[in-house]
Structure 1
């Protein structure tokens, strides 16, 4: 019932005091609250799910909780405890004070994060992915809003509600044909082979493609393929279109034609201007991203192989605690006294009031 040394988080409702909504999910049927653990006065996050709205999918939520509790890794968000209060399921989690990477993009880094910050985030995400792959789990939902950052710079992967366990009846499946039933918000991150749904199926390398999309989202401030219908996105992916990092070396791929269309399908926004093209990402990061987005699954590297890539040399001996300084001027949410007390306020209204972090995306475990 506790994942933090020295603190016990018990499934007792009156041990927790809700403050404000810092995120929403499940089509509005769940909310993430900033809260206080009264016995220790420590700040936490609580996810409340309306089980009446989610009655048909209750087993789906239960399986997610069970899976998360079975995993133990510093880069996977742990759950303290969960319990039912009336028609609501309460899930008590650590507070990730910088919010998600998508929050950071909304708050300040509209044109993308600096390369050093991306590398710290990427290293921790890969460690989490390597861990779950070793345990037979395909994540199937890696994206910026599922990557959370603590006040100390610890990066945690969340969003396991779309995951799939390849170990069935004691045997590990070599290929999977299952399609996530709750996946509309993850389609842009899905690999071509997962979207194709053919007899070849997909495997753990599908997550590696999603990591390539994540890098583009972190670097460019917008997820690739976000400006096109799902059918066009599928065609672009199956044809091998590789999104790129927008910088001075790729300016030719982002030229807007006379009709206002981006010449490179599936990449960032139409504002292909000097904000992007005065910067230059390292050749290592460009190559790393391209390898992740390789159409040929056999040629796509594993998480373990990527962790040994030369792109990480510049941060090899640097701890995750170096990350917060790279996220300035954004500051973590650590002081409850600075938070507005209006629980009825809409999420966007709360976002406008907050000076620390913008919570505009689903904040899920």
Structure 2
């Protein structure tokens, strides 16, 4: 049974929805069989959702976003037998090249191995014809900085597993990765200098720490850093330029451009909300500030500067970062 034809996180196996007759050269040649990996669903009601691969059991309510270079539509939906709200990502596999298919496959495989409350899991994955359906817990899609999502219960989770790379190969743990995927230009603002440099030094988990620093700037300002910069200028700034901070006006888009980008979907979306009943966007004007109109605490500056060090060896580890004074101070003093 193909991993992308049916994957349930419960221990109940479900019949594949793949049509019986498939050409050996079809899109499914990349979706190879994998051993079944499973764990218990989070709750009794959720278990009914987890194992449901019947399309008629899902009522699509509104499209709340797009992703995977606009190849995937993200929908708020309801699992009608239980009334549970879920998020459904729908991708037409016929529109995906070999590289995209492998990325989708990797995301599904890796979702087996992340059993953490703050990592978004896939409840069910199956195909209907050439369409891939991925069922996940419903998260408030508008509260985001790229792949940071929050559930109705306030649980913050990280999504976006398609670009993950393992440091373990052939049973051995390596100190660096030398596989440089062809990232979309839209994600370059979050990428570390060493990842963009693509030299013989490779990159490791410290690249994620750099991305944390960029995301912190994005969350604090409500704007994507470097969004208005020409790509060449942004690369020079990242690779050779001086360190920057959340208050560096030059790396943030101007207000007029930012509002335009916000409506086109490339902005961070901070300050927006999605009305689920109608699918319309509203803007909270109290959140739309330019970096120059904000002040940040010394602890926040320190956190960002540590994350954005040019030399990855000077960046803290994730565990040591959690001991930073920024995370130890009272919540009302965060920024």
TM-score by length of 1: 0.66
| 1:274, distance to aligned residue in structure 2 (A) | 8.1
Report matched runs for 1:83-98 at 5 Å. 83-96=126-139, 98=140
Query: In the alignment, which residue of structure 2 is the partner of 1:12?
Result: 54
Counterpart secondary structure, 2:116? coil
**Higher RCO (CA 8 Å, separation ≥ 6 residues):** 1
Distance 1:302 1:240, change over 3 A: farther
- Say if 2:201 is the partner of 1:200: yes
Structure 1 or 2: more helix by fraction: 1
Query: In the alignment, which residue of structure 2 is the partner of 1:30?
Result: 72
Q: Is the 8 A contact 1:217 1:224 kept in 2?
A: yes
What are the ranges of 5 or more consecutive residues in structure 1 without an aligned counterpart? 103-143, 247-252, 255-261, 319-365
TM-score by length of 2: 0.72
| 1:277, distance to aligned residue in structure 2 (A) | 4.0
- Say if 2:93 is the partner of 1:78: no
Counterpart secondary structure, 2:89? strand
Q: Separation in 1 of the partners of 2:231 and 2:67?
A: 21
Q: Is the 8 A contact 2:119 2:157 kept in 1?
A: yes
Query: In the alignment, which residue of structure 2 is the partner of 1:181?
Result: 182
Report matched runs for 1:170-249 at 5 Å. 170-246=171-247
Note the alpha carbon deviations across 1:74-94, whole angstroms, 9 max, x for none.
100011111111220100011
Q: Is the 8 A contact 2:62 2:76 kept in 1?
A: yes
What are the ranges of 5 or more consecutive residues in structure 2 without an aligned counterpart? 1-7, 10-40, 257-287
Which residue of 297, 307, 312 corresponds with 1:292?
A: 307
Counterpart secondary structure, 2:108? helix
Note the alpha carbon deviations across 1:81-128, whole angstroms, 9 max, x for none.
1111122010001101x32444xxxxxxxxxxxxxxxxxxxxxxxxxx
Q: Is the 8 A contact 1:240 1:295 kept in 2?
A: no
Note the alpha carbon deviations across 1:238-262, whole angstroms, 9 max, x for none.
114333123xxxxxx54xxxxxxx4
Note the alpha carbon deviations across 1:319-356, whole angstroms, 9 max, x for none.
xxxxxxxxxxxxxxxxxxxxxxxxxxxxxxxxxxxxxx
Report matched runs for 1:141-180 at 5 Å. 144-180=145-181
Note the alpha carbon deviations across 1:11-42, whole angstroms, 9 max, x for none.
22222121111111233322111111112111
Counterpart secondary structure, 2:154? coil
Distance 1:28 1:271, change over 3 A: closer
- Say if 2:93 is the partner of 1:51: yes
Q: Separation in 2 of the partners of 1:271 and 1:14?
A: 44
Counterpart secondary structure, 1:64? helix
| 1:212, distance to aligned residue in structure 2 (A) | 0.6
| 1:302, distance to aligned residue in structure 2 (A) | 0.6
Q: Separation in 1 of the partners of 2:69 and 2:132?
A: 16
Count of paired positions: 260
Distance 1:34 1:172, change over 3 A: same
